Structures are given as structure tokens and as C-alpha cells.
């Protein structure tokens, strides 16, 4: 389709005049998800939109937010303006009824332009710095911490290590989550397809070639070709 051939655009971080912070973030979150989905070759989406309950208005004081992260139910008390990224990184450990340390997703630009904060929500990659925590209620949230099983790293993580696909490592969790989503959606994805999947992730250290190599190898492994 015509729209799928256009390059993924990153949303501007500046809220237009007259637009509330909440409305702006909602638009940014959806745009970020759409951009990443676009980068993944127009894969299908699951849901989206704004919870009608949120239209009623909540806050500005902190409210209880129930999240399902890596298959685990957690509750955190945050103001409605807090992003999903900040809720998990900064509030979960202290404010949760069940303290969990989820700082794997990185806050780098905090404005939907670098991909370091990428998580998978209801099967779609999102920039979690552009999604409000309250919006993520009732959704299946996956972070980089949820990829390993029984202490064994996910094949994508193993290949990042084997291919030396990182330097400072700040971008790496985001790359890994985009890659996992890509290979789950498109088993046997070609290098070109994978490159498009990783379009929304930026590495300032210049490790993109090795990151791509790692994901191609992981894809082959996951398809049982290696
Ligand atoms: S896109 Fe979220 S921290 Fe850069
Ligand atoms: S490894 Fe440093 S930003 Fe990517």
C-alpha cells in the first residue's frame, strides 16, 4: 500500500499550541507505534486507541495503575502524566506493591526519536517514552527483562553477544526488542526486512552493521536453519 512505502517518520516532540500534554502523548504514542509498525513492513496491529475510561479524566494526583509486565501483574501509584517508561524504570521498584527492578529499557531522548525505550505492547513495538502508563493498563507489556527463559538468553540476545553488537549498550535493549518483534512477526525475515524493522532504533556508537548481523543470525537460528 502506498503508505507502507513511505519512510517511517519520527514524531516531533513539540506539542502544538492548544494541545494538552496528555493528548499530545497519546498522539505521540500511537504515532511511534505506527512508525515502528511501518518500519516492520506494515505488519498488522492489535487494537490501539484510547481507553474510554481515560476520556473521563483522571489525576492530577497519583492514581493506582495496574500493569501486566512480562506476564506478571504489578501495581504502581503514579500521576497520570507519567510515561510507561518512567513508571517501570523509576516508580515500579519504589512504588509497587511487589517491588520489581525493570530498568533494562533505556531513557535516552525521552521524545520518541531514538528507540532505546522500545517495548512490545500487545504484540506491537512502541516507544514507551511516548505512552502513558495509564494507557498501558490491560495490555500485555514485554520488556527486555522478559526475554530470557530459565536463565538462558533469547537467541537475539545471544547473537548480539556473539557478534559484539554493542558498545556503550544504551541502544541495545531497544534494538533487541525491535528485533524480537520483527522475527516473531516475520519468521525467516530477510536482511532487508530486518533492516526496516530496526529503522526506528538509533545507535550513536555506530554498531548498526553488527546489530543487523546479529539479528540475521538469530533469525536463521530461530527458523532452525543454523
Ligand atoms: S524513543 Fe524513547 S527514549 Fe528515545
Ligand atoms: S552501542 Fe552505544 S548507542 Fe548503540
Q: What is the residue extent of each domain of the chain?
A: 16-45+58-146, 155-222
**Ranges 33-37, 85-89, 148-152, 180-184: which has the least confidence:** 33-37
With a 6 A CB cut-off, is 167 part of the ligand 2 pocket? Answer: yes
With a 6 A CB cut-off, is 169 part of the ligand 2 pocket? Answer: yes
The pTM of the full predicted model, rounded to 2 decimals, is 0.77
Residue nearest to atom 1 of ligand 1 (CA): 112
Distance 202 CA to ligand 2 centre (A): 8
Residue nearest to atom 2 of ligand 2 (CA): 168
Chain segment 10-64, per-residue pLDDT in tens? 333 344 454 455 555 555 544 444 334 333 333 333 344 556 556 667 768 999 9
Ligand whose nearest atom lies closest to the CA of 204: 2
Q: How far, CA to CA in Å, does 66 sit from each of 34, 96, 137, 139, 221?
A: 24, 10, 6, 10, 36
80 CB-contact burial (10 Å; exposed 0-12 / middle 13-18 / buried 19+): buried
Distance 156 CA to ligand 2 centre (A): 16
| 16-45+58-146 topology per CATH | Ubiquitin-like (UB roll) (3.10.20)
What CATH number should be reported for the domain whose range is 155-222?
1.10.150.120
Pseudo-torsion of CA 84, 36, 45, 30, nearest 10°? 50
Amino acid at each position: 500500500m502506498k503508505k507502507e512505502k513511505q519512510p517511517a517518520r519520527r514524531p516531533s516532540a513539540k506539542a502544538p499550541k492548544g494541545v494538552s500534554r496528555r493528548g499530545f502523548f497519546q498522539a505521540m504514542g500511537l504515532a511511534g507505534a505506527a512508525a515502528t509498525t511501518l518500519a516492520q513492513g506494515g505488519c498488522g496491529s492489535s487494537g490501539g486507541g484510547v481507553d474510554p475510561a481515560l476520556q473521563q479524566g483522571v489525576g492530577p494526583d497519583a492514581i493506582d495503575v495496574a500493569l501486566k509486565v512480562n506476564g506478571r501483574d504489578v501495581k504502581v501509584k503514579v500521576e497520570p502524566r507519567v510515561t510507561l517508561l518512567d513508571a517501570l524504570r523509576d516508580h515500579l521498584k519504589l512504588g509497587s506493591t511487589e517491588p520489581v527492578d525493570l530498568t533494562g529499557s533505556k531513557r535516552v531522548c525521552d521524545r520518541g526519536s531514538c528507540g532505546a525505550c522500545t517495548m512490545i505492547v500487545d504484540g506491537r513495538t512502541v516507544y514507551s517514552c511516548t505512552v502513558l502508563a495509564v494507557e498501558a493498563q490491560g495490555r500485555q507489556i514485554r520488556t527486555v527483562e522478559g526475554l530470557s527463559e530459565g536463565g538462558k538468553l533469547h537467541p537475539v540476545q545471544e547473537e548480539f553477544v556473539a557478534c559484539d553488537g554493542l558498545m556503550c549498550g544504551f541502544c541495545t535493549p531497544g534494538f533487541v526488542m525491535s528485533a524480537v518483534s520483527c522475527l516473531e512477526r516475520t519468521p525467516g525475515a530477510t536482511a532487508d526486512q530486518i533492516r526496516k524493522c530496526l529503522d526506528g532504533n538509533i545507535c550513536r556508537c555506530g554498531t548498526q552493521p553488527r546489530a543487523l548481523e546479529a539479528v540475521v543470525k538469530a533469525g536463521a537460528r530461530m527458523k532452525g536453519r543454523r
